[in-house]
Amino acid sequence: MKYMFLIFDDEAAEGSRGEDLMPAYGAFGDEVTKAGVIRDGNRLHPASSATTVRVRGGKAATTDGPFAETKEQLGGYYILDCKDLDEAIAYAAKIPTAKFGSIEVRPIWEM
Amino acid sequence: MKYMLLIYSDESDPRSAGSPEDMAGHVALAREAISHAAYVTCDALQQTPAATTVRVRNGEAVITDGPFAETKEVLGGYYVLDCKDLDEAIAYAAKIPPAKHGAIEIRPIMEIPGWDEMIGLTSPAPAAR
């Protein structure tokens, strides 16, 4: 089953998104590549670059900023194909940001 | 530039369950994006009771049921589209069916040289499991 791993951290915190994390992300990338489970993954620009769109009464209304103000913000994601939730949790715990942020694991609908 | 379009809606709102009209709207949107070479990927997520949140503290994985944050509207799916600018991304966002009752958050994706290689996306596609 495919799972989405949403990576949240406090983007204002020191070291949260620094280049020093890149080797650890590189190692995680190597592991999920060798295991053949990686399907997608991306890093997002900071939440200050977000735009939120709602259509009401047939009109699109846009607001600057993310949908919700939270202490931790979405900074990126992976899609991994895991055999079960236990395997997904094991991978989530290896995402470098898990050590100071939060990883939300969501199963994807198979359609 | 690639943009992630995150779809938030209230799971307790019957409209968030996805009507046949909504599904037709998603198909029409995906086809439009494909015809403009803007489509990258999309997925629908199972509802948040199926979510698990993982944090590692002092070397131990701490696992909680449910999503990272309790919000009235929750993430239900996403598109990744390659758009020429934010205006085009907003135009696509407004066509996502749940935009009519929920909210679509648009996030530009970082272009990191060598990223796809780093996370193994350029290696041959592995067999489906």
Write the residue in A26, A44, A81 that is nearest to B129 by C-beta: A81
pLDDT for B124 equals 44
What is the tens place of the pLDDT at every residue in A72-104?
A: 999 999 999 999 999 999 999 999 999 999 999
What would the DSSP string read from start to end of A3-34?
A: EEEEEEE-TTSTTTT-GGGHHHHHHHHHHHHH
Answer yes or no: do B119 and A41 touch at CB < 8 A: yes
pLDDT for B23 equals 92
The bridge status of strand A102-107 relative to strand B52-57 is antiparallel
Mark the ranges of chain B whose per-residue pLDDT is less than 50.
Answer: 124-129
Helix axes of B20-35 and B86-93: crossing angle, nearest 10 degrees: 150
Strand partners, A54: A61
pLDDT for A35 equals 95
For residue B45, report the phi and psi dihedrals to the nearest 5 degrees. Answer: -100, 150
Write the residue in A36, A45, A89 that is nearest to B52 by C-beta: A89
A3 contacts chain B (CB < 8 A) = no
pLDDT for A110 equals 85
User: How many angstroms separate the CA atoms of B52 and B47, rounded?
Assistant: 11
Give the three-class secondary structure for B57: strand
ipTM reported for the complex, 2 dp: 0.92
What is the tens place of the pLDDT at every residue in A20-75?
A: 888 999 999 999 999 999 999 999 999 999 999 999 999 999 999 999 888 899 99
* pTM score, whole prediction: 0.92
pLDDT for A1 equals 96
pLDDT for B126 equals 45
Both structure tokens of B34: 């494909």
B119 contacts chain A (CB < 8 A) = yes
Write the residue in B80, B93, B108 that is nearest to A45 by C-beta: B108
For residue B42, report the phi and psi dihedrals to the nearest 5 degrees. Answer: -155, 155
pLDDT for B122 equals 65
